[in-house]
Amino acid sequence: MTKHPTPASETSAPLATPFDDLGVAVSPGEPLAHHTWLGVGGSAAYFFEPVDVEALARVVARCRERAIPLRVVGGGSNVLVPAGGYPGMVVRLSAAPFCAIAVQETICQAGAGAKLVHVVSAAVQAGLAGLEMLVDVPGTIGGAVVGNAGGHGGDIGQRVRDVTVMLGDGTVEVRDRSRLAFESRWSNLDDCIVIACRLELDPDDAGLLTKRMQKQWILGRGTQPSGTRTVAMMFKDPLGTTAEALISQAGGRELRSGEATVYPPHANFLVAGPRCTSDDVRSLVEMVRDRVRQRLGVELTPLIQVW
């Protein structure tokens, strides 16, 4: 009997990637929508969840050698992926070595992939104050430090003692406070991958801190859109006021673009409907910004990062 060769399209051989010789599992064409809160957008050319720092270093160095752009996704609560996806490597620090949390005396050390809420709880349980006001901010500690997350009770940058980062060639260094700069929802950690950080906190009564944290959690839950995770915070708060107040004053509560709508009870949030696209989100952010500029003469700065 004649044997027919199997057509190439029916073989199960994985697609070749520039990382195949590194002994790591890189996924080509990973859809990014389910790695972000908004749940919209296309795929990453390559996606990688390293098991440890050495594996990450190999991939980071290869990306530099081949001029492949690289981004880290944390909790994906502040990222908008375009419809065309991301034409490079997206790394997610989800493995155990990147998510450890340890508290010693007044220092809380956390891997960048640890959820911020878990870091806040660990600090509070250990009787350490300074992070409670961040309990309702979604995402990872890495994302929080890079974007200097915070609110009216303060920013995380105030508490950062040092940060362990990986550079583009795969080397690791520790940057202490003197080399770090934090401003409103900004840090100078835009040239590296944050791997871990150490936060300096104040001793306090664990029972009182727990109450304060619970109060902040309830307050946060009360203002954030409920019943859906497909939301984003649109703008930074300008000095001396809030983006929410300005959007409301400018009559922006009713604005929508396709399936993206402003969340009327708290107008600095945008909610993405089931068939929402990245373009809907982008144009709603622009629409709200234009409205505030035209009616109040104030230029809002977007918080959400478009990849």
**Alpha carbons 234 and 244: distance in angstroms, whole number:** 9
157 binds ligand FAD (CB under 6 A): no
Shortest CB 188 distance to ligand FAD, Å? 12
Shortest CB 132 distance to ligand FAD, Å? 13
42 binds ligand FAD (CB under 6 A): no
Shortest CB 8 distance to ligand FAD, Å? 36
Residue choice 31, 88, 151, 264 for contact with ligand FAD (CB under 6 A):
151
**Alpha carbons 175 and 85: distance in angstroms, whole number:** 32
Residue choice 53, 68, 70, 72 for contact with ligand FAD (CB under 6 A):
72
180 binds ligand FAD (CB under 6 A): no
Question: What's the burial of 83, exposed, middle or buried (CB within 10 Å: 0-12/13-18/19+)?
Answer: exposed
Using CB under 6 A as the binding rule, the residues of this chain from 226 to 245 that contact ligand FAD are: 231-233
What is the dihedral angle through the alpha carbons of 132, 208, 226, 266, rounded to the nearest 10 degrees? -70
196 binds ligand FAD (CB under 6 A): no
Residue 247: enclosing H or E segment and its boundaries?
helix 243-249
146 binds ligand FAD (CB under 6 A): yes
CB neighbour list of residue 98: distance below 8 Å, 6 or more residues apart: 50, 111, 112, 113, 114, 195, 196
Which of 14/84 has CB closer to ligand FAD? 84
**Alpha carbons 29 and 88: distance in angstroms, whole number:** 10
Which of 108/233 has CB closer to ligand FAD? 233
137 binds ligand FAD (CB under 6 A): yes
Only one of the segments 54-62, 143-151, 250-258, 291-299 lies at the binding site for ligand FAD (rule: CB under 6 A); that segment is: 143-151
CB neighbour list of residue 155: distance below 8 Å, 6 or more residues apart: 148, 149, 182, 184
37 binds ligand FAD (CB under 6 A): yes
76 binds ligand FAD (CB under 6 A): yes
**Alpha carbons 199 and 210: distance in angstroms, whole number:** 18
Q: Are 231 and 40 in contact (CB under 8 A)?
A: no
Whether residue 212 lies in the annotated active site = no
63 binds ligand FAD (CB under 6 A): no
140 binds ligand FAD (CB under 6 A): yes
Which of 127/147 has CB closer to ligand FAD? 147
Residue choice 62, 185, 212, 291 for contact with ligand FAD (CB under 6 A):
185
The alpha carbon dihedral of 301, 289, 135, 101 has a sign of negative
- Phi and psi dihedrals of 272, rounded to 5? -100, 125
Please report where in the chains the tokens 């871990």 appear, as a residue: 196
**Alpha carbons 49 and 52: distance in angstroms, whole number:** 9
89 binds ligand FAD (CB under 6 A): no
Q: Are 151 and 137 in contact (CB under 8 A)?
A: yes
The alpha carbon dihedral of 282, 142, 91, 32 has a sign of negative
Which of 125/226 has CB closer to ligand FAD? 226
Q: Catalytic: which of 185, 198, 282, 289? A: 185
Residue choice 150, 157, 252, 302 for contact with ligand FAD (CB under 6 A):
150
Size of the site for ligand FAD (CB under 6 A): 32
Map residue 232 onto helix, strand or coil. strand
Please report where in the chains the tokens 């920013």 appear, as a residue: 155
Using CB under 6 A as the binding rule, the residues of this chain from 255 to 284 that contact ligand FAD are: none
Residues that bind ligand FAD (CB under 6 A): 37, 71-79, 93, 112, 137-140, 142-144, 146-147, 149-151, 185, 193-194, 224, 231-233, 305
